[in-house]
C-alpha cells in the first residue's frame, strides 16, 4: 500500500468499557510490544514490506493498515465496538495502540500521535517509569499517598500503585483523552486505590503527598500538542512550574521525582540553575543527574533551538526533610 496524503489525527476512543474489553482480549493472545520513537516508527513502517499488517503486533503495535480477515473475528468485533478502527480505503486501520511495560499492557494513541490531545507512550515513558521504580526500590519510608502529575497513559502512577498496595494513588491530567486511557490502564493492571482526576497541575487536588512523580512535556512544539509542548524558555516552562507546585505539596519526608529534558546552552543548564535556586530557597534536599546527555538531536535543526548545543534527559529528585 502507498499513500501520499498524511494520516488523519485519530482520537483516543471514548468508550472505556469497550476499550478495556478489547485490551483484555489482546492481552489473552500473549501480545507484547515495545513502542519506539515516532522517528524510528516512521523508518520501519516506510519499508515496502511493511506497507500492510501481517500480524496482531503489526496492527496494535505498528499501527499498520490491515485486511479485515487478518484478525480473529472476536477481536475485530471488539475493535468496532470500541470505536478503535477506521476505514482506510479498502483496508482498515487501528486507532489505538497497546504497549508493554512492567509486565502490563498500556493503551495509548495510535501512530502517528499527531492529534493535539494524543495520549503519548514511547521510550521516554519507559525511561520515566524505570526511574520511578528505581526510586521506590531505594526509598525506605512507606508511600501512603502519591500523585502522577500530567499522567498521560498513567504508566508511572500504575507502577507506583503496584509497589505500594493500600496507598492512595491519584493520576491527574488536563487532557480528557489521557484520563480515559489512564482509567482503562489502571483497571487493566488491576491496581486498586488508583483514582483519575482532571486537574491543571495540582490545583484540583488537595493535601500533601509522600511521593509526586511527573514527566512533563519539555519540547518547543510549534503545533502546541499537549503531550509535547513545554512552553517557557526552550521548553522548560512546564517542568519548572511542576517543580514549583510540587515542592509546596510534599509531606515531611516526601519526595518529588521529575523526569524531563534540559536544553544545554554554551555548556550551561538554565533549568538546573532554576531548580538549584528553588530548592535552596525552600531548604529542600535535591539531586540532579543527566540520564542521557544527548537526545532529540533532530530538534536542533529548528529555529527554536538555534542557540542550543544539546538536549539532555534529566532526573530530578527533591526531598522535604
pLDDT at position 13: 96
pLDDT at position 299: 86
What percent of the chain shows pLDDT beyond 70? 95
> What value does the mean pLDDT take over residues 154-175?
97
> What value does the mean pLDDT take over residues 276-304?
93
**Distance between CA atoms of residues 230 and 236, nearest Å:** 6
Q: Is residue 229 over pLDDT 70?
A: no
Longest dimension (CA), the chain: 63
- Of 14-23, 57-66, 109-118, 159-168, minimum mean pLDDT range: 109-118
Domains of the chain in start order, with CATH, are: 16-109 (no CATH), 123-319 (3.40.50.150)
Strands 168-173 and 194-198 come out as parallel
pLDDT at position 2: 44
pLDDT at position 303: 86
Residue with cell 484478525: 71
Kind plus residue range of the DSSP H or E element containing 100: strand 96-101
- Of 17-31, 187-201, 222-236, 306-320, minimum mean pLDDT range: 222-236
pLDDT at position 244: 95
Kind plus residue range of the DSSP H or E element containing 270: helix 270-282
pLDDT at position 12: 94
- Residue 185 backbone dihedrals phi, psi, to 5 degrees: -70, -35
Q: Is residue 225 over pLDDT 80?
A: no
pLDDT at position 297: 86
> What value does the mean pLDDT take over residues 79-92?
95
Of the candidates 89, 101, 91, 62, the one whose C-alpha atom is nearest the C-alpha of residue 76 is: 91
Kind plus residue range of the DSSP H or E element containing 80: helix 73-82
**Count of positions (residues) in the chain:** 321
The DSSP annotation for 234-263 comes to GG-HHHHHHHHHHHTTEEEEEEEEEEEEEE
Q: What is the pTM of this model?
A: 0.93
Long-range Cβ pairs for the range 101-105 (8 Å, 24+): 101/125, 101/126, 101/129, 101/155, 101/159, 102/129, 102/133, 102/155, 102/158, 102/159, 102/162, 104/158, 104/185, 104/188, 104/189, 105/23, 105/26, 105/27, 105/31, 105/32, 105/185, 105/188
pLDDT at position 4: 44
Instruction: Name the band, by pLDDT with cuts 50, 70 and 90, for residue 234.
Output: confident
Residue pair 160/189 in contact by the 8 Å Cβ criterion:
no
131-165 core/surface letters (b: 16 or more CB in 10 A; e: else): bbeebbeebeeebebbbbbbbbbbbbbbbbbbebe
**Distance between CA atoms of residues 234 and 296, nearest Å:** 13
Which three cell numbers, joined as nine digits, stand for 21?
474489553
Amino acid at each position: 500500500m502507498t499513500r501520499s496524503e498524511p494520516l488523519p489525527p485519530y482520537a483516543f476512543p471514548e468508550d472505556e468499557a469497550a476499550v478495556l474489553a478489547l485490551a483484555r482480549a489482546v492481552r489473552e493472545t500473549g501480545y507484547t510490544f515495545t513502542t519506539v520513537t515516532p522517528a524510528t516508527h516512521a523508518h520501519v513502517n516506510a519499508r515496502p514490506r511493511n506497507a500492510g499488517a501481517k500480524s496482531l503486533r503489526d496492527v496494535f503495535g505498528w499501527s499498520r493498515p490491515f485486511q479485515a480477515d487478518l484478525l480473529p473475528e472476536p477481536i475485530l468485533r471488539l475493535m468496532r465496538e470500541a470505536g478503535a478502527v477506521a476505514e482506510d480505503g479498502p483496508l482498515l486501520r487501528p486507532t489505538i495502540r497497546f504497549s508493554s511495560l512492567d509486565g502490563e499492557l498500556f493503551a495509548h494513541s495510535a501512530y502517528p500521535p499527531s492529534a493535539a490531545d494524543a495520549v503519548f507512550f514511547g521510550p521516554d515513558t519507559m525511561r520515566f517509569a524505570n526511574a520511578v521504580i528505581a526510586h521506590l526500590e531505594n526509598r525506605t519510608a512507606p508511600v501512603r499517598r502519591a500523585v502522577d502529575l500530567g499522567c498521560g497513559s498513567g504508566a508511572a502512577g500504575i507502577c507506583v500503585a503496584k509497589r505500594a498496595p493500600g496507598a492512595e494513588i491519584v493520576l491527574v491530567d488536563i487532557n480528557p483523552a489521557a484520563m480515559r486511557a489512564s482509567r482503562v490502564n489502571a483497571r487493566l493492571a488491576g491496581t486498586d486505590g488508583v483514582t483519575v482526576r482532571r486537574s491543571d497541575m495540582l490545583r484540583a487536588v488537595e493535601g500533601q503527598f509522600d511521593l509526586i512523580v511527573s514527566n512533563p512535556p519539555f519540547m518547543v512544539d510549534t503545533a502546541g500538542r499537549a503531550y509535547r509542548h513545554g512552553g517557557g524558555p526552550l521548553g522548560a516552562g512546564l517542568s519548572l512550574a511542576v517543580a514549583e507546585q510540587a515542592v509546596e505539596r510534599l509531606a515531611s519526608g516526601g519526595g518529588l521525582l521529575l523526569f524531563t529534558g534540559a536544553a544545554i546552552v554554551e555548556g550551561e543548564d538554565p533549568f538546573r540553575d532554576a531548580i538549584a535556586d528553588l530548592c535552596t530557597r525552600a531548604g529542600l534536599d535535591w539531586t540532579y543527574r543527566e540520564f542521557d546527555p544527548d537526545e532529540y538531536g533532530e530538534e536542533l535543526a529548528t529555529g527554536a533551538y538555534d542557540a542550543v548545543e544539546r538536549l539532555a534527559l534529566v532526573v530530578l529528585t527533591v526531598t522535604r526533610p
